[in-house]
Amino acid sequence: MVLLLGACPEYGCLVYEYMHNGSLEDRLFRRGQTMALSWQHRFRIAAEIATGLLFLHQTKPEPLVHRDLKPANILLDRNLVAKISDVGLARLVPQV
């Protein structure tokens, strides 16, 4: 999950940590002349996304479902570590 640093209610915006490598979508489509991701990086990123989703789905007392997971909502830090962002559409899932 991307770290929330602060909020500005006057302008309705949130401030998150800076993600040096942009979104997964940007990297997959090589926007800005970025180098292609190796398959090793792609598999690690997929595992990190799955781990993040597992964390959200097992949250206590109420699990969360992201509802808008896409490459544009996966951000990559300086070391290409994947972090899930934009959980604005997330819904609490009641326990059955």
- Active-site amino acid positions: 68
Rounded Cα distance, 86 and 45, in Å: 17
CA distance to 2, 24, 29, 37, 71, per residue, from 42 (Å): 19, 10, 13, 6, 12
Rounded Cα distance, 51 and 45, in Å: 10
